[in-house]
């Protein structure tokens, strides 16, 4: 059964650039915090030991990552009800305030509260931007490339963030006294807060009729009635990818330590990972690739992800880790935007809710993956075996779900997308 609803047919360039910029700012802020957390914990905790710093660094990182589990779904529902732009503006304003305030945490408890709030506001940005793109762009190849651009913007932020955070941690003390934080450089935090505020202002002045689905555009599209199980499968696949990437991040760090890989080399491996992900995201939805074809590569990408994770466990030298990093990066860089694209394709008026649920599922997957790696990997051979079994199981589950998509509504969605592309090209 098909229903017609009015939504935008051409995504304004300004809306796309503004949305991608907002996503990049949030990713940049997350990356900046990674090298600064240990420094800040040492300044707000009286006489912390190395184990205390390690524990709170992990927990504060997790506080930001787990917030979307609670907040992403409601943000998506609100954006479906009140429009994309109002939710983006509120999310960016809240993100700007909470991230700027994080530069001056009066206590460790306040630090945790600010990280949770910052993560909750950040959860409003990416799914709402993707839903905004879905509302405003009916041309499937252009919409696919817009999804790739948004994903690439996130990768750029994640790549630049740790480098800027590392530089900020090494900057000389400010010439003014700021209590327990007198020796710490805060300009990076305030600068990112200003960027988020600027993104909110830019969205205010972005003139589109696509904030709500009741658009005045002349373009009409069909709201695809897609099997609910298919959309749930896409969400589960996204959570599986996030769990794999969480396993990768922690597993690579621990294996590098066990193999005495210098931290500088580890940093270059993570940077190379982001570069590969960025390139794959751009190539997957390039003008020379049809979006409808991407579904065929979901299963191979999951196999590549699983093999890369297993190779990390089995590597006995730096070369093996580099090869594993390349495989995981290529698979993750492909799967993240492709799964979001296909989930949004059949979402219709509920794009915000569905993408919000995906964001929450990704948060759970990433948390479980990181925690599982930290618990299972180590000197215990049994732990490594369990982690290998879980890795193989995750890859097999992803493969089975992908095959199920091909046997049910997934093929129908791919054929519908191909027809949309053909009809667009004939216009």
Query: Where residue 334 sits, what CATH number does that domain have?
Result: 1.20.1250.20
Q: How many CB atoms lie within 10 A of CB 138?
A: 20
Q: What is the pLDDT of residue 233?
A: 78
Burial 203-227 (b: 16+ CB within 10 A, else e): beebebebbbbebebeeebebbebe
Q: How many CB atoms lie within 10 A of CB 324?
A: 24
CB 127 within 8 A of CB 72: yes
The residue whose two tokens read 């003014």 is 176
Vertex 326: Cα angle to 320 and 328 (nearest 5) = 100
Q: How far is the C-alpha of 302 from the C-alpha of 151, rounded, in Å?
A: 18
Is the same domain home to 326 and 419? yes
Is the same domain home to 284 and 198? no
Is the same domain home to 184 and 264? no
Is the same domain home to 150 and 282? no
Q: What is the pLDDT of residue 264?
A: 67
* Nearest residue to 35 via CA among 188, 172, 156: 188
Which residue stretches of the chain have pLDDT < 70? Answer: 1-11, 170-185, 208-227, 229, 254, 257, 263-264, 346-349, 370-427
> Longest C-alpha distance within the chain, in Å?
69
Q: How far is the C-alpha of 40 from the C-alpha of 218, rounded, in Å?
A: 53
Q: How far is the C-alpha of 221 from the C-alpha of 139, rounded, in Å?
A: 10
Q: How far is the C-alpha of 67 from the C-alpha of 112, rounded, in Å?
A: 11
Is the same domain home to 177 and 253? no
Q: What is the pLDDT of residue 330?
A: 93
Q: Burial of 113 by CB count in 10 Å (0-12 exposed, 13-18 middle, 19+ buried)?
A: middle
Q: How far is the C-alpha of 236 from the C-alpha of 339, rounded, in Å?
A: 10
Q: What is the pLDDT of residue 215?
A: 37
Last residue of one domain, picked from the residues 223, 253, 279: 223
Helix (H) or strand (E) holding 251: helix 228-258
How do 220-223 and 3-6 pair as beta strands? antiparallel
* DSSP character string of 137-200: ---HHHHHHHHHHHHHHHHHHHHHHHHHHHHHHHSPPPSS--GGGTTS--HHHHHHHHHHHHHH
Dihedral of CA 224/228/230/234: which sign?
positive
Distances (CA, A) of 250 to 167, 319, 359: 23, 18, 21
Q: What is the count of structural domains for the chain?
A: 2
Is the same domain home to 235 and 207? no
Helix (H) or strand (E) holding 223: strand 220-223
The conformation of residue 294, written as its DSSP 8-state character, comes to G
Last residue of one domain, picked from the residues 223, 248, 280: 223
Q: What is the pLDDT of residue 113?
A: 94
Q: What is the pLDDT of residue 390?
A: 62
Q: How far is the C-alpha of 203 from the C-alpha of 84, rounded, in Å?
A: 10
CB 319 within 8 A of CB 269: no
Is the same domain home to 218 and 230? no
Is the same domain home to 279 and 311? yes
Last residue of one domain, picked from the residues 223, 255, 274: 223
Torsions phi, psi of 219, nearest 5? -75, 135
Q: What is the pLDDT of residue 135?
A: 83
Q: How far is the C-alpha of 225 from the C-alpha of 137, rounded, in Å?
A: 19
pTM: 0.75
Is the same domain home to 240 and 193? no
E-strand stretches of 73-113: none
Q: Which domain holds residue 325?
A: 226-427
Is the same domain home to 318 and 201? no
Torsions phi, psi of 223, nearest 5? -85, 110
Q: For residue range 257-294, what is the model confidence (pLDDT) as tens digits?
A: 677 777 667 777 888 888 898 889 888 877 777 777 78
Is the same domain home to 88 and 146? yes
Is the same domain home to 215 and 230? no
Q: For residue range 182-209, what is the model confidence (pLDDT) as tens digits?
A: 445 677 888 899 999 999 999 998 876 5
Q: What is the pLDDT of residue 393?
A: 65
């Amino acid at each position: 059964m098909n229903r017609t609803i009015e939504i935008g047919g051409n995504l304004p360039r300004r809306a796309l650039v503004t949305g991608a910029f907002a996503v990049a700012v949030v990713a940049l802020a997350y990356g900046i915090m990674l090298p600064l957390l240990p420094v800040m914990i040492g300044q707000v905790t009286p006489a912390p030991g190395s184990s205390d710093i390690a524990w709170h660094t992990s927990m504060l990182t997790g506080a930001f990552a787990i917030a979307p589990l609670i907040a992403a779904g409601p943000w998506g529902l609100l954006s479906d009800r009140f429009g994309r732009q109002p939710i983006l503006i509120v999310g960016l304003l809240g993100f700007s305030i909470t991230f700027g305030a994080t530069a001056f945490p009066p206590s460790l408890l306040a630090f945790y509260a600010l990280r949770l709030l910052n993560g909750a506001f950040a959860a409003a940005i990416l799914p709402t931007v993707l839903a905004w793109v879905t509302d405003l762009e009916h041309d499937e190849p252009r919409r696919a490339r817009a999804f790739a651009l948004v994903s690439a913007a996130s990768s750029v932020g994640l790549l630049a963030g740790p480098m800027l955070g590392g530089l900020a941690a090494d900057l000389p003390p400010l010439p003014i006294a700021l209590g327990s934080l007198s020796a710490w450089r805060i300009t990076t935090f305030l600068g990112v807060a200003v960027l988020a505020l600027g993104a909110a202002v830019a969205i205010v002045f972005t003139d589109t009729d696509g904030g709500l689905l009741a658009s005045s555009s002349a373009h009409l599209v069909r709201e695809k009635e897609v099997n609910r199980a298919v959309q749930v499968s896409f969400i589960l696949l996204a959570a599986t990818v996030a769990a794999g990437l969480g396993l990768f991040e922690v597993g690579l760090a621990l294996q590098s330590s066990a193999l005495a890989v210098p931290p500088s080399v580890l940093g270059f491996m993570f940077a190379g990972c982001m570069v590969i992900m960025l390139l794959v995201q751009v190539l997957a939805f390039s003008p020379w690739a049809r979006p409808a074809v991407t579904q065929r590569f979901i299963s191979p990408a999951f196999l590549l992800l699983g093999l890369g994770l297993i190779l990390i466990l089995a590597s006995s030298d730096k070369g093996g880790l580099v090869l594993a990093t390349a495989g995981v990066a290529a698979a993750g860089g492909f799967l993240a935007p492709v799964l979001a694209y296909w989930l949004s394709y059949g979402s219709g008026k509920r794009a915000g809710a569905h993408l919000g649920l995906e964001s929450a599922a990704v948060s759970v997957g990433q948390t479980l993956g990181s925690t599982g790696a930290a618990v299972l990997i180590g000197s215990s051979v049994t732990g490594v075996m369990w982690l290998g079994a879980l890795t193989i199981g995750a890859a097999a589950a992803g493969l089975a779900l992908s095959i199920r998509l091909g046997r049910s509504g997934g093929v129908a969605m791919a054929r519908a997308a191909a027809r949309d592309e053909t009809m667009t090209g004939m216009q």
